[in-house]
Protein backbone atom coordinates (compact mmCIF):
# COMPACT_ATOMS: atom_id res chain seq x y z
CA UNK A 1 0.00 0.00 0.00
CA UNK A 2 2.81 2.38 0.91
CA UNK A 3 4.53 1.78 -2.45
CA UNK A 4 1.28 2.45 -4.27
CA UNK A 5 0.76 5.66 -2.37
CA UNK A 6 4.26 6.80 -3.16
CA UNK A 7 3.74 6.09 -6.86
CA UNK A 8 0.50 8.04 -6.89
CA UNK A 9 2.20 10.92 -5.10
CA UNK A 10 5.00 11.02 -7.66
CA UNK A 11 2.47 10.90 -10.51
CA UNK A 12 0.50 13.82 -9.03
CA UNK A 13 3.68 15.88 -8.64
CA UNK A 14 4.67 15.21 -12.28
CA UNK A 15 1.25 16.29 -13.49
CA UNK A 16 1.45 19.48 -11.42
CA UNK A 17 5.04 20.23 -12.51
CA UNK A 18 4.31 22.53 -15.47
CA UNK A 19 7.96 23.53 -15.71
CA UNK A 20 8.93 20.01 -16.68
CA UNK A 21 6.20 19.85 -19.32
CA UNK A 22 7.33 23.18 -20.77
CA UNK A 23 10.95 22.02 -20.93
CA UNK A 24 9.90 18.86 -22.72
CA UNK A 25 7.80 20.80 -25.23
CA UNK A 26 10.65 23.24 -25.78
CA UNK A 27 13.10 20.40 -26.46
CA UNK A 28 10.71 18.89 -29.02
CA UNK A 29 9.71 22.10 -30.82
CA UNK A 30 13.01 24.00 -31.06
CA UNK A 31 14.70 21.60 -33.55
CA UNK A 32 11.64 21.79 -35.81
CA UNK A 33 11.56 25.60 -35.65
CA UNK A 34 15.27 25.83 -36.40
CA UNK A 35 14.88 23.49 -39.36
CA UNK A 36 11.99 25.57 -40.74
CA UNK A 37 14.01 28.75 -40.27
CA UNK A 38 17.06 27.46 -42.16
CA UNK A 39 14.95 25.94 -44.95
CA UNK A 40 13.05 29.21 -45.40
CA UNK A 41 16.30 31.19 -45.40
CA UNK A 42 17.90 28.84 -47.94
CA UNK A 43 14.90 28.87 -50.28
CA UNK A 44 14.79 32.67 -50.19
CA UNK A 45 18.50 32.91 -50.98
CA UNK A 46 18.24 30.35 -53.78
CA UNK A 47 15.45 32.37 -55.40
CA UNK A 48 17.53 35.55 -55.13
CA UNK A 49 20.61 33.88 -56.62
CA UNK A 50 18.52 32.47 -59.48
CA UNK A 51 17.34 36.02 -60.27
CA UNK A 52 20.95 37.18 -60.24
CA UNK A 53 22.00 34.42 -62.65
CA UNK A 54 19.32 35.66 -65.04
CA UNK A 55 20.49 39.25 -64.50
CA UNK A 56 24.06 38.24 -65.38
CA UNK A 57 22.98 37.05 -68.82
CA UNK A 58 20.86 40.11 -69.59
CA UNK A 59 23.50 42.54 -68.29
CA UNK A 60 26.35 41.00 -70.27
CA UNK A 61 24.31 40.81 -73.48
CA UNK A 62 23.14 44.40 -73.04
CA UNK A 63 26.68 45.75 -72.57
CA UNK A 64 28.06 43.86 -75.56
CA UNK A 65 25.29 44.95 -77.93
CA UNK A 66 25.99 48.62 -77.15
CA UNK A 67 29.47 48.27 -78.68
CA UNK A 68 30.26 48.87 -82.36
CA UNK A 69 33.38 46.75 -82.13
CA UNK A 70 35.43 45.25 -79.35
CA UNK A 71 38.47 43.19 -78.45
CA UNK A 72 39.16 40.27 -76.16
CA UNK A 73 40.19 42.46 -73.21
CA UNK A 74 36.97 44.48 -73.33
CA UNK A 75 34.86 41.36 -73.68
CA UNK A 76 36.53 39.70 -70.70
CA UNK A 77 36.04 42.88 -68.68
CA UNK A 78 32.30 42.73 -69.38
CA UNK A 79 32.21 39.10 -68.26
CA UNK A 80 33.97 40.06 -65.01
CA UNK A 81 31.26 42.66 -64.43
CA UNK A 82 28.66 39.93 -64.91
CA UNK A 83 30.52 37.67 -62.50
CA UNK A 84 30.58 40.41 -59.84
CA UNK A 85 26.78 40.74 -60.10
CA UNK A 86 26.41 37.52 -58.09
CA UNK A 87 28.08 38.93 -54.99
CA UNK A 88 27.87 38.43 -52.05
CA UNK A 89 27.04 34.84 -53.06
CA UNK A 90 30.45 33.15 -53.40
CA UNK A 91 29.98 29.44 -52.75
CA UNK A 92 30.45 28.61 -56.43
CA UNK A 93 31.53 30.51 -59.54
CA UNK A 94 29.27 31.30 -62.49
CA UNK A 95 29.94 30.22 -66.06
CA UNK A 96 29.41 32.88 -68.73
CA UNK A 97 29.60 32.37 -72.48
CA UNK A 98 29.20 35.13 -75.06
CA UNK A 99 28.75 34.08 -78.68
CA UNK A 100 28.27 36.19 -81.80
CA UNK A 101 26.00 34.39 -84.28
CA UNK A 102 25.48 35.21 -87.93
CA UNK A 103 22.58 34.15 -90.14
CA UNK A 104 23.92 34.43 -93.68
CA UNK A 105 21.97 36.12 -96.47
CA UNK A 106 21.74 33.15 -98.83
CA UNK A 107 18.97 31.13 -100.40
CA UNK A 108 19.68 28.50 -97.77
CA UNK A 109 21.07 30.59 -94.93
CA UNK A 110 23.81 29.28 -92.70
CA UNK A 111 23.59 29.88 -88.96
CA UNK A 112 27.13 29.98 -87.64
CA UNK A 113 29.43 31.29 -84.94
CA UNK A 114 31.39 34.45 -85.73
CA UNK A 115 33.32 34.55 -82.46
CA UNK A 116 32.89 33.21 -78.95
CA UNK A 117 34.49 33.60 -75.55
CA UNK A 118 33.69 31.99 -72.20
CA UNK A 119 34.44 32.32 -68.50
CA UNK A 120 34.47 28.95 -66.74
CA UNK A 121 35.39 28.61 -63.06
CA UNK A 122 37.10 32.00 -63.09
CA UNK A 123 39.26 31.28 -66.18
CA UNK A 124 38.81 32.67 -69.70
CA UNK A 125 39.05 30.54 -72.82
CA UNK A 126 37.82 30.40 -76.40
CA UNK A 127 34.26 29.29 -76.98
CA UNK A 128 32.94 27.61 -80.11
CA UNK A 129 35.21 28.04 -83.14
CA UNK A 130 34.29 30.53 -85.85
CA UNK A 131 32.18 28.87 -88.53
CA UNK A 132 30.68 26.30 -86.16
CA UNK A 133 27.06 25.62 -87.08
CA UNK A 134 24.44 26.73 -84.55
CA UNK A 135 21.50 24.36 -84.44
CA UNK A 136 19.65 25.59 -81.37
CA UNK A 137 18.80 29.13 -82.51
CA UNK A 138 15.06 29.75 -81.94
CA UNK A 139 13.07 29.71 -85.23
CA UNK A 140 11.80 33.27 -84.67
CA UNK A 141 15.40 34.56 -84.77
CA UNK A 142 16.45 32.79 -87.97
CA UNK A 143 16.22 35.90 -90.14
CA UNK A 144 18.46 36.16 -93.19
CA UNK A 145 21.33 38.62 -92.81
CA UNK A 146 20.88 39.04 -89.06
CA UNK A 147 23.59 39.20 -86.42
CA UNK A 148 22.94 38.18 -82.82
CA UNK A 149 24.73 38.15 -79.50
CA UNK A 150 23.95 35.15 -77.32
CA UNK A 151 24.79 35.41 -73.62
CA UNK A 152 24.60 32.24 -71.54
CA UNK A 153 24.94 32.29 -67.76
CA UNK A 154 24.85 29.28 -65.47
CA UNK A 155 25.66 28.37 -61.89
CA UNK A 156 25.69 25.27 -59.70
CA UNK A 157 24.02 26.63 -56.59
CA UNK A 158 25.33 25.09 -53.38
CA UNK A 159 23.02 25.24 -50.33
CA UNK A 160 24.75 26.61 -47.25
CA UNK A 161 24.30 23.31 -45.39
CA UNK A 162 26.54 21.57 -47.93
CA UNK A 163 29.04 24.38 -48.47
CA UNK A 164 31.80 22.80 -46.38
CA UNK A 165 33.06 19.33 -47.19
CA UNK A 166 33.06 18.50 -43.46
CA UNK A 167 29.34 19.31 -43.29
CA UNK A 168 28.63 16.92 -46.14
CA UNK A 169 30.49 14.13 -44.38
CA UNK A 170 28.94 14.80 -41.00
CA UNK A 171 25.37 15.29 -42.18
CA UNK A 172 25.42 12.71 -44.95
CA UNK A 173 24.14 15.21 -47.50
CA UNK A 174 26.78 14.83 -50.19
CA UNK A 175 24.56 12.86 -52.52
CA UNK A 176 21.30 14.63 -51.63
CA UNK A 177 22.50 18.19 -52.31
CA UNK A 178 25.27 18.14 -54.90
CA UNK A 179 24.16 21.48 -56.32
CA UNK A 180 21.14 23.03 -57.98
CA UNK A 181 21.63 23.94 -61.64
CA UNK A 182 20.58 27.46 -62.59
CA UNK A 183 20.92 28.77 -66.14
CA UNK A 184 19.64 31.47 -68.50
CA UNK A 185 20.19 32.37 -72.16
CA UNK A 186 19.59 35.74 -73.83
CA UNK A 187 19.68 36.74 -77.51
CA UNK A 188 20.09 40.42 -78.39
CA UNK A 189 20.76 42.32 -81.62
CA UNK A 190 23.45 45.03 -81.95
CA UNK A 191 22.22 48.55 -81.20
CA UNK A 192 24.90 50.76 -82.73
CA UNK A 193 25.87 48.80 -85.83
CA UNK A 194 24.82 45.87 -88.00
CA UNK A 195 27.57 43.60 -86.63
CA UNK A 196 30.03 43.62 -83.75
CA UNK A 197 33.48 42.39 -84.78
CA UNK A 198 35.74 41.30 -81.94
CA UNK A 199 39.51 41.35 -82.31
CA UNK A 200 41.27 38.16 -81.11
CA UNK A 201 38.11 36.81 -79.45
CA UNK A 202 38.53 33.41 -81.07
**pLDDT the model gives residue 145:** 93
What pLDDT is attached to residue 56? Answer: 94
The CA distance from 56 to 119, in Å, is 12
Per-residue pLDDT reduced to its tens digit, 139-151: 999 999 999 999 9
pLDDT value at residue 191: 93
CB 113 within 8 A of CB 161: no
pLDDT for the residue 172: 46
CA dihedral for 193, 196, 197, 200, sign (positive or negative): positive
**Mean pLDDT, range 158-186, rounded to an integer:** 65
Phi, psi torsion values for 85, nearest 5 degrees: -60, -25
pLDDT of 133 strictly over 90: yes
Q: How confident is the model at residue 167 (pLDDT cuts 50, 70, 90)?
A: very low
Answer yes or no: is pLDDT of 5 > 80.
no
Q: Provide the pLDDT for residue 171.
A: 47
Instruction: Give 112-135 as a DSSP string.
Output: EEEEEEEEETTEEEE-SPTT-B--
User: For 21-25, 32-36, 118-122, 197-201, which range has the lowest pLDDT when averaged over its residues?
Assistant: 21-25
Question: Which residue range forms the structural domain that includes residue 184?
Answer: 2-199
d(CA 195, CA 67): 9
pTM for the model? 0.76
Instruction: List, for residues 28-71, the tens digit of each pLDDT value.
Output: 787 888 888 877 888 888 899 999 999 999 999 999 999 999 99
Mean pLDDT is lowest, of 13-17, 60-64, 91-95, 117-121, for: 13-17
Tell me how many domains the chain contains: 1
Mean pLDDT of 153-168: 72
Directed axis angle between helix 72-84 and helix 18-65, to 10°? 160
Query: Cα(107)–Cα(36) distance, rounded to whole angstroms?
Result: 60
Distances from the Cα of 64 to the Cαs of 74, 99, 175, 181, 198, in angstroms?
9, 10, 39, 25, 10
Q: pLDDT tens, 57-116?
A: 999 999 999 999 999 999 999 999 999 998 888 888 999 999 999 999 988 899 999 999
Amino acid sequence: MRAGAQFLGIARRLVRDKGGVAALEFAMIVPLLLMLYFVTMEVAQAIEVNKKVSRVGSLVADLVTQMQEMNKTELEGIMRIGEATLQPYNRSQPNITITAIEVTDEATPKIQVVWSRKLINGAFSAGSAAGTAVSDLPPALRIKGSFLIRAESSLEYEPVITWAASSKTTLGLASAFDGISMAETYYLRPRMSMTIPCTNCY
